[in-house]
Structures are given as structure tokens and as C-alpha cells.
Amino acid sequence: MDIADKGPLPNGTEDLDLSKKAIPGYRRILSVVLTSLTVIFTASVLIPLGAVVYGVSKKGINQLKFPTVFTELPPPPGLTEGGFGHAIIGTLITLGVASVIAVPFGVLAAIYLAEFGKGTKVAQFVKFSCNVLTGVPAILCGLFAYSIVVIPMGKFSAFSGGVAIAVLMLPIIVRATEEALLLVPNEMRQAAMGIGATRFQMVANIVIPAALPALITGIVLALGRAAGEAAPLLFTAFNNNFWSHDLFQPVATLPVLIYFFSIIPYKASQDLAWAAAMMLVMLVLIFSIAARFFSRQKTY
């Protein structure tokens, strides 16, 4: 019997049959191979991350004794009772100082790159500098802050630690903010200019509010990136075994506390280092979840 005598095929059957014939066999094989490689590479990223979180959680969760870890100072070597509340406060202080320095400069630089200096030599130089600064080791940022802040002041301080962290955060904020601004449709800019707004008014009242969720995401990611750095703080904020809220005095931070306590040959001190590592992982995780939340908001 001829196919034409069988009557019309069910709806969609003919299209499906034609699509199968249109795709050569080697393309289907290539699709399977690439999909498999994607799964393998994704697992190669997730497995180490899961192993780190599991290992730190397994050894650190039992050492987190609330509210002791927030209210007490570290014990002398060999003793078991104590906490690291001063290091949590010191970490937040240094991140706060870094944000005050890096966010305004980073956002303004990104606005210049995306809105005012596009295509100029100055903009190309700024982009090149950001790319170079992104690859600079964190310890060099600490040496930079040590040379321009610690040596002139003659002492370590939370302020100098914030300067070192700000250098780390700056390129991340610049690139993230620039990309956020470029996502805003040009039609919105043209509409604002069409009703008589100046370029400054257009950027301040239209572009920045529209890109605000993505802009905040970049800032939060930069904070998460900088929160776990110990090398710059060893040269700048150093350490302090007591409560300190003075910006111009040494302060303890979680990364530095982990470093010092992990090399002390006492199990109690090493257990406290694991607890601090768990707290640091939780802090970075909070920053990552916050960045994910803001990235889900509509940009425009």
C-alpha cells in the first residue's frame, strides 16, 4: 500500500520524522559526546567544592559552641574553652573599610567605561589595568598596602587591612558593574535623552537604577572573594588577641586566626581553627546566596 493511501499522519508525526532525517548521525553522536563532557566537567567542579564543604563541616561543626564562639576570646594554648568573636568583628570591620573604599571608586570607574569614555584610550587603559589587577596575587596587594599605609603609619591597623582588601575587590566591582550597565537596553537611554534629560540625569536616574540588582551582585561577589584572604591581612591588619574596634589598631580576622591556630601544636587550638574555618565557609556561603538572590532580580 502506498503511503499516500494510509491517510494523513498524526499531528506532529511527520515533523518529527523529518527532523530525525535532517540530523545526520555524526551530529547526534557529537551532541551526546559534548553533553557527556559537560556533565563530567561540571562534576569536576562540584565534587571538590562538596569535598571542601563536607570536610570543613565535619571537623568544624562540633567545635562551634554557641554562644561561646561569639562572646569569648581565644584560650591560651592547650586549653579548650574559648571563642573567636573578636575575629568575626575584625573581619567585618576590614570588609566594611574595603567596601567604603572600593565600591565608590569601582562603580564610578565602571560608569565612565560604560557611559562616558567608551572607546577612548583612557577607557582601554583602565580595562587593561583591571585585567592585570585581577591576576595579581593577593599577597602583592598586601605588600602594596604595607608600603603605602603601614610603613607611613608605623603600625598595623584594620584600616590598612581594608586598603589591601579594597585593592582585591576593585577589579571585580569594576568589571561586574560595567557588564551590568551594558545590559541596560539603549532604548531606555534614548528615551531619556529624547525627553530632554542630560547624560548625567540619564545615567543617575535611569541606567543605574535599572542595573542596580546586577551591580549589587558584583559587590557581594567581591566581598565573598575577599573575605577568605589571609595573606594581605598578615602584612596589614596582622592580629590581635583582644577585643578591638579601633580602625587604627591591629585586629584579628578569621583567615589570619585560622592560619595561626592551625600551626599551633595543640589539639584544642587546632579544633578552634576548624571552627573558625567553618564560620568563614558559612560567611562566604551567605555572600554567595545573597549574590544569587540579587542576580535573580530583573535588571531592567
Give the length of the chain.
300
Rounded Cα distance, 23 and 26, in Å: 8
Side-chain-side CA neighbours of residue 35 (13 Å): 6
The torsion region of residue 266 among left (phi > 0), alpha (psi -120 to 50) and beta comes to beta
Q: CB atoms < 10 A from the CB of 163, how many?
A: 26
Task: Say which residues have a Cβ less than 8 Å from residue 284's Cβ, sequence separation at least 6.
Answer: 224, 227, 228
Per residue in 105-150, pLDDT (tens digit) is: 999 999 999 999 888 999 999 999 998 998 899 999 999 999 999 9
pTM to 2 decimal places: 0.82
Q: State the helix-helix crossing angle for 158-182 and 85-111, rounded to 10 degrees.
A: 40
Per residue in 8-25, pLDDT (tens digit) is: 555 554 454 444 455 567
